[in-house]
Amino acid sequence: MPSLHLEDLVLCRNGTTILDGLTAMIPATGITALIGPNGAGKSITLRIIDGLIAPTRGRVRIVASAPVRRAFVFQRPALVRASALANVALALAPLRLSRAEREARARAALARVGLADRAGDPATRFSGGEQQRLALARAWAVEPGLLLADEPTANLDPAVTELVEALLAEMAARGTKVVLVSHNLGQVMRLAADVLVLAQGRAVEHGPARAILTAPQRPETRAYIAGELPWTSFAAVS
């Protein structure tokens, strides 16, 4: 499993600094949660890790013994106008499997997320929860070494949220490194081994999830968890 080294990441756009020297070492095992307020740079950080966005300065080093296969689950899944089965099989195309192997893995992944009976249905007609389950099926089928998940349960009902959390936990237990962005601190407590707190594009605290969430050391983290202070005041209290 890969460890991730975020080295002095800076991202500037239109005169605004979004990431401001973000530096952290994300361990190779378990689920790491990125938390912090809107605008802290969490989703941007996931996209830089995945290579979707190039930083203005700095770099991401993925340290592993072999090339790392990655998957990304977005808050709003991007689906092609095709069946659910075709959407999952398309994600398997780079693996150069036979057509039969792709179909078998795609069907197994759909079954794992409870969509086996929807394999032939158009994916774009799925509900929001079904689309997110389909996105997770794609990630499951690829068997990634690194899974990046950006608010994967936002706006989902409790039953679907429970299913998504179980899938993330199972993937981590099977050897996938998961980096999760979530505003749901209960979810973070249930899933994450460690937590990286971002504020104003910087890493302000990083450590075991239970310690961060129950006894944070930094005023930024305490304020975010308690909802006591506006984030604009952090420069004054740091």
Q: What is the 3 state secondary structure string of 9-50?
A: EEEEECCEEEEEEEEEEECCCCEEEEECCCCCCHHHHHHHHH
Distance CA 9, CA 22 (A): 5
Q: Which pair of structure tokens corresponds to residue 138?
A: 């794609």
Domain boundary among 99, 117, 143: 143
Domain boundary among 143, 169, 203: 143
Mean pLDDT for 34-45 is 93
pTM: 0.89
Query: Are 126 and 195 contained in the same domain?
Result: no
Query: Are 223 and 212 contained in the same domain?
Result: yes
Domain interval for residue 178:
1-69+146-238
Report the domain count for the chain.
2
Query: Residue 181 sits in a domain of what CATH number?
Result: 3.40.50.300
Query: Are 225 and 190 contained in the same domain?
Result: yes
Query: Are 184 and 222 contained in the same domain?
Result: yes
Tens of pLDDT along 172-211? 999 999 999 998 999 999 999 999 999 999 999 999 999 9
- Answer whether 12's CB lies under 8 Å from 168's CB: no
Of 117, 169, 114, 109, nearest in space to 139 by CA: 109
Distance CA 27, CA 115 (A): 33
The per-residue pLDDT for 215 is 92
Distance CA 198, CA 41 (A): 7
Whose tokens are 């600094």? That residue is 17
Q: 34-38, 73-77, 166-170, 214-218: which range is least confident on average?
A: 73-77
Query: Are 88 and 124 contained in the same domain?
Result: yes
Query: Are 121 and 161 contained in the same domain?
Result: no
The per-residue pLDDT for 160 is 87
Whose tokens are 């979707």? That residue is 52
Query: Are 139 and 49 contained in the same domain?
Result: no
Query: Are 118 and 160 contained in the same domain?
Result: no
Going by pLDDT thresholds of 50, 70 and 90, the confidence category of residue 233 is very low
Query: Are 49 and 153 contained in the same domain?
Result: yes
Distance CA 108, CA 210 (A): 35
Domain boundary among 143, 172, 198: 143
- Answer whether 198's CB lies under 8 Å from 205's CB: no
Query: Are 224 and 155 contained in the same domain?
Result: yes
Query: Are 114 and 161 contained in the same domain?
Result: no
Mean pLDDT for 61-89 is 90
Query: Are 136 and 150 contained in the same domain?
Result: no
- Answer whether 112's CB lies under 8 Å from 134's CB: no
